Every structure is written in structure tokens, then in C-alpha cells.
Structure 1
Amino acid sequence: MDSATMRAVVAHGAGDLRLEERPVPVPGPGEVAVDVQYGGICGSDLHYWRHGAVGEFRLREPLVLGHEIVGRVREAGPGVQAPPPGTPVAVHPLDSCGRCRQCHAGRRNTCLDTGYLGSAARNPHVQGGFADVLVVPAERVLTLPEGLDLRLAAVAEPAAVAWHAVRQAGDVRGKRVLVTGAGPIGCLVVASLRAAGATDITVTDMHEAPLAVAKQVGATSAVRVGVGADHLEELAADIAIESSGSPAGLRTCVYGVDRGGLVVGLGLLPPGDTPVAANALITRELRLVGSFRFDTELTEVLHALSDGRLAVEPVVTSVVPVTDTQKAFELAADPARSCKVLLDFGEPTSL
């Protein structure tokens, strides 16, 4: 690899993941180039690798994966006011249109024409950030609070997803909360609940390893599905947050909350219509709300990570060099061996 090229992690189809050389991008007006240091592997990245699709969004061209990105400012485009080169930053992955009724209502995360790093929802696709250098609009580059380690900051994007879900739940102080699914997002939901003042947090999962991480970040009770989980319908939680993305997890939430309780749907369910215990929703007078991505929460989370309110260090279980991308993805796909796996891009590409 010479100074004019960089490495990029590219999905070409189901099971076809490649580490390629690509030209180093140069920022134009209104843009900033970032030397990527860490990229967190998300469930959506795993779906593009394994299935060539995330829900209804299918690969129609090669896609650079990755949207959980932190690094350092490389250079700014012409006339751009940006932090000086070398400044540690996080990258907001959302590109909203700014014109639709959702954007005008302050709900950019539900924009009618949104783009997201590393997503096949649009055609052409929105190329992602698993590359040595990423160019984005300057307003999406967020300077890290002083002293915040880049490795810890790499968890900020998925933590903002969890933070938004907890916000959708309202005031959780002193509440009993059930969380279904102890993957990276579920564990970050637990940490966010703890930061927001929830006192009794029960989390469920199919594997012991993620449950152990959930307890490290604040769960007061961990239940392995199928082993002592029968009592969950008697839990009578005030709030349930579904983060497993499974119909079974949603059913557990519906029956695990008390009558008049609140269920927050966070994990994306399989495409198509999903059977729901609608009669239970009605007769138990439950409220069901959705939670999708995030907006301004990324800035809040960066400060919460910096001041220690959001304790998530145990969530990062592995950091793998980008040269071992295949190994990293295989590890991230195995919940018995990992929680959050980071790709390490190492030293910046030369200018």
C-alpha cells in the first residue's frame, strides 16, 4: 500500500468480505477527512457480511462497512472551520435531509430521506467508515471531551442508540426494568439505565458470557433464557426494553411488564409482519413505543463516557487489527466469545 491508497473493509455479497486497497479520499468544501483509529463491528455489519442484506436493504454494489467510527482529524477541505489536525474526534453517522417534516420536528433519526454510513438503504449505497481515511461533512465531526480515550469513545455510537432507547422510556429513576438481549446494545442499555437511575435491572440472554458483561455494567439480575426464565412473567417490571431483535424477546417484554407498563422496541425484528401478543397489549393496557438510532444523544454520551457516568469498559471484549478482518468478524458473530469487537486501523495513512 502506497501513500495514495488506503485499506477498506468491503462487503461484496453474502459471505464475501474483502480488505481492499482504495484511493485515499480528499475533503472538498464543507468536508473533513478523519484518520480512522477504531471501528466497532455492529450487528448490521455482520448481516451484510453473512447474508448480503440487513432486513429489506440488500447489497446492490460493493459496500464499505462501518458506522461506529473514531479517529483523528487529518485535514479540512477548502474554507472549512475544523479542529486542527490530530484532534481526536467521533463521527456522527447520520445524514438527514433537513427538509422533511421529521427533520423540522427535531426528529432527524426518523428523517424521510436519511443516509447512514455503511448502509445499503440507498442506491448508490452510503459507503461506510471501515477505512483508513473517512471524509464526512464537517458538522458530523465531534471533538472528544479532553482526556476521553479513543478506544472508549469507539463505543459512543452504539451507546447513543441505547441512550436514546432509555430516553424513550421516560423517567427510569427508581424503576424496575427488564432488558431482553445482552448483546452489545443490550449491555449498553443496561449501562444507560444505571446512569439514568434505574435501581432494579433484569437482563436476559441465551448465553452466559454476555450476561456476565451485563452484570459488570449494572444489571442486578441476569437470567439465561430456558434456565430459570419461567418466572419472568411474574416480574411485573415497570418498563421493558427489547434489544434482542427476536419475536420471543418481544413476547417476554409484553408479559414481563406489569399491567399499565411500558415496552420499548429497540432490536429490529425480522423483515415482514411479526406476530405480536396484541390481546395482551390491550387487556393489560400496555404502551408500546419504538426506538430507532439517535440524534443529538451522541454528544451527550461522549460527555457521559468522559465524566464516568456511563461505565461501559467491559463491553469492549476484543480489539483486532484490521489486517485480521475475517477473524474479527467471526469473533464478533460469536456471542459466547465476544461482546463488542473493535477493528484497529493503527497508524494514520501518510499525507
Structure 2
Amino acid sequence: MTTSDPAISALAGSALPVSGPAVVAHAAGDLRIEDIPLPVPAPDEAVIDVAYGGICGSDLHYWLHGAAGESILKAPMVLGHEISGTVVRAAADGTGPAAGTPVVVHPATPGPGAPRYPADRPNLSPGCTYLGSAARYPHTDGAFSRYVNLPARMLRPLPGNIGLRTAALTEPAAVAWHAVSRAGDVAGKTALVIGSGPIGALAVAVLKRAGAARIVAVDMHALPLEIAAAVGADEVLAASDAGAVADVEADVVIESSGNHHGLASAIQGATRGGTVVMVGLLPSGPLPVLISLAITRELELKGSFRFNDEIDDVITALADGSLQIDPVITHDFPVDQALEAFEVARNAAVSGKVLLSFGQGEAS
């Protein structure tokens, strides 16, 4: 599907660079909306008119702390990696989708391979970069900008029945899909999800699609539990009810809270011989963990980091209707209200996934 938007058609035929508002983190507590000029794209880059961008936990960390884990902000950086939009100028080298094509973005650039790293898991390559990441310097700017140049290889065309608003969830849904896949076959099993924020809720939706027989979602707040129920959780539990969580005895646990209390609940809620997948990024440094219980129960503790090609699976599942994720979106704000949007997104009691709108509005 392509679009006949005359503004996009005009831009596609223009040789003039454009500019637009962008969300830029300068330091902890210093988030600005700035007009950013668009440089001349490289031959393998397409120009994208960004429609929506989802605010991720890493975006919040750069704003609040000037760092996301070990990735420390050393210079101003455009945030954002959960992106949907429309190609307004195709890559000059002929690769990638044509102008007018609605797309989502795979934000990773794997580093060079090495024999000791699995070739089929480029997310683990040590030189991997990611849009909107300060892991390396110079930083990799993100795509919270009205217009952005992106390598054509990052772009995934969207079927006509997926709107750009829903499509903004494709990247975090791929993170959840990867986490569930790390657990193996979940069909017919009991699954427990600790932390029902956007990634946890998306994991619930993926587990539902994958045929889990019973899905129990846990969170500290009422709204995330409502969202989890809307996307497929059979039961919801308050995180404070430790006894009820432990009684679940889940075959598979997805830990998405990103704190050691959640990891403790995950271990306690897993059945003997069960699997705990850790997708929530815990703080760096030593942490208290119930390792003795994991040992005596012979639990499998597995890490889950970003994703590889699962974004293509998510697009297919959204297109055929087998993956239902719309309830995860609770707010969208125009880019000129980005500061308010970030304030809402930081409060898990009142928001799920918060989107920024960059000008196109809803499209499909």
C-alpha cells in the first residue's frame, strides 16, 4: 500500500532539505523540543515522515537520569526508536520501499560478527548500535523527529490493514515476542507475567497468541492489570499479594518489572523445573536474588535482550488479526506537548504506552 498524500508527493519530488521538530535529551532533567534540519540522505537512506513514536523506558531514563543503564549521555541526543511513518523519498540506490509506503522501523544495526558470538543472534553482537542510544560515542540519534533519514534495511513495509498508530507498537511487541520465544513452546502451559507495563502487557498478548493455557499478570497498579486483562490475561494479581503469586506455580515466567523484587516474585512463582525469562532490564551492579531457590527448583533463568527478526512475525500477526495489542496504547500527544507526554509516561499508575504524534495523524 502507498499513500497519495500530496504533501508527501511534493516532498518526494523536491531536492530541498527540510526540517522539523525533534525531541532532544541534553542531560538529566533537560529535555527540549528543537527544530532539527534534515541532512542530505546517504545513497542507502530513505527519508521518513514520522507519524508516531512510542516513549520507551530507555527514553525516560535518558530524560530523568542522563543515562540508561551503562549508556551515559555525553552530548545532546535525539531520542526515540519505536517508530511508524511513511517513506517520502526512497533510497537513491534503489533499495528499500518506494515513496508513499507506510513503514515501521527495526532500529538495530548489528556489529561485525565474531566466532564466539552466535551468528543467528545479531542482537548479541558487541558492536550493535540502536537508534536513540548513548551506548557508544558519538551517540546514535533516534527518530523522534518529524523527518528522519534512515537506512532502507531498517524499514519494514506495512500491510494496508495496519494503521500507523497501532504500528508504533511493533518494536516493543517484537521485544515481547523475543522474550516469549526464549521460553520455548508455551502452548498449553501456565504463564506468569511479572510487571504489566507495556512490555509485560505485550508479552501477555504474545503468550495468548502462542496458546498458553493460563496467563496470570502481576503489577503494583490497577491500570496495567486492566490492560493485561484486555489483551489476554486470564487472572490478575496485585504484586503485594506474594502468597498468591507464589501459588501460581507457573511453567513459564516473564519478568518484565526490571527490579529485584519482581525477579524474586518470578522465582517464587515458578514451578519446579520451570523457566524464568528476564526481559526487564535491572540496574547494573550487584543485586539480591533468590538463587538458592532457583537452584533447588532447577529453574532455567534466561536473559532476553531486544530482538532479531521477530518484528516481521509481529507485522504478520497484526495483519492476520491473531495478535491484539491496541489496548496497550493509552495516550498520544502532539510533539509540541512532548514534555507533558514524558511526565505522563513516567507514571505507570496512569498510563500504558504513550505515543508522540509528529504530524500525520492516524493513517492506514
TM-score between the two structures when normalised by the length of structure 1:
0.96
Which of 52, 55, 74 is 2:88 aligned to?
74
Conserved 8 A contact 2:242-2:265 = no
- Please list every run of 5 or more consecutive structure 1 residues that lacks an aligned counterpart in the other structure: none
What is the CA-CA distance between 1:103 and the residue it aligns to? Answer: 6.7
Which of 280, 287, 295 is 2:293 aligned to?
280
Q: Distance in 2 between matches of 1:210 and 1:84?
A: 38
Please give the secondary structure, in 1, of the residue aligned with 2:286: coil
Alignment CA distance shift 1:136-1:101 (3 Å): farther
Which of 313, 330, 340 is 1:327 aligned to?
340
- Structure 1 residues 1-351: aligned runs within 5 Å: 4-101=18-115, 105-226=119-240, 228-347=241-360
Deviates more, 1:64-73 or 1:138-147: 138-147
What is the CA-CA distance between 1:92 and the residue it aligns to? Answer: 0.6
How many residues align? The count is: 346
Runs of 4+ in 1 over 4 A off after TM superposition: none
Match of 2:7 in 1: none
What is the CA-CA distance between 1:102 and the residue it aligns to? Answer: 6.7
What is the CA-CA distance between 1:78 and the residue it aligns to? Answer: 2.5
Alignment CA distance shift 1:270-1:10 (3 Å): same
Deviates more, 1:257-266 or 1:19-28: 19-28
Please give the secondary structure, in 1, of the residue aligned with 2:332: strand
Q: Distance in 1 between matches of 2:295 and 2:93?
A: 57
Deviates more, 1:28-37 or 1:228-237: 228-237
Alignment CA distance shift 1:3-1:96 (3 Å): closer
Q: Distance in 1 between matches of 2:360 and 2:340?
A: 20
Q: Distance in 1 between matches of 2:177 and 2:169?
A: 12
Q: Distance in 1 between matches of 2:249 and 2:168?
A: 35
Q: Distance in 2 between matches of 1:271 and 1:97?
A: 23
Conserved 8 A contact 1:223-1:229 = no
* 1:100-124, Cα deviation, whole Å (9 max, x unpaired): 3477611111111000000000000
Please give the secondary structure, in 1, of the residue aligned with 2:351: coil
Please give the secondary structure, in 2, of the residue aligned with 1:148: coil
Q: Distance in 1 between matches of 2:323 and 2:68?
A: 29
Conserved 8 A contact 2:83-2:143 = yes
What is the CA-CA distance between 1:98 and the residue it aligns to? Answer: 4.0
Letter of the structure 2 residue corresponding to residue 135 of structure 1 = N
Letter of the structure 2 residue corresponding to residue 27 of structure 1 = P
* 1:218-256, Cα deviation, whole Å (9 max, x unpaired): 011111122x34222222111111000010111111111
What is the CA-CA distance between 1:3 and the residue it aligns to? Answer: 7.0
Q: Distance in 1 between matches of 2:238 and 2:290?
A: 22
Alignment CA distance shift 1:102-1:9 (3 Å): farther
What is the CA-CA distance between 1:145 and the residue it aligns to? Answer: 1.8
Conserved 8 A contact 1:191-1:218 = yes
Conserved 8 A contact 1:80-1:138 = no
Q: CA RMSD in A?
A: 1.5
Please give the secondary structure, in 2, of the residue aligned with 1:125: coil
Letter of the structure 2 residue corresponding to residue 28 of structure 1 = A
Conserved 8 A contact 1:100-1:112 = no
Deviates more, 1:99-108 or 1:137-146: 99-108
Conserved 8 A contact 1:36-1:71 = yes
Letter of the structure 2 residue corresponding to residue 219 of structure 1 = A
Match of 2:3 in 1: none
Q: Distance in 2 between matches of 1:4 and 1:72?
A: 15
Conserved 8 A contact 1:97-1:103 = no
What is the CA-CA distance between 1:77 and the residue it aligns to? Answer: 3.4
- Please list every run of 5 or more consecutive structure 2 residues that lacks an aligned counterpart in the other structure: 1-15
Alignment CA distance shift 1:218-1:347 (3 Å): closer
TM-score between the two structures when normalised by the length of structure 2:
0.92
What is the CA-CA distance between 1:305 and the residue it aligns to? Answer: 1.0
Q: Distance in 2 between matches of 1:312 and 1:337?
A: 18
Q: Distance in 1 between matches of 2:70 and 2:156?
A: 31
Q: Distance in 1 between matches of 2:274 and 2:255?
A: 14
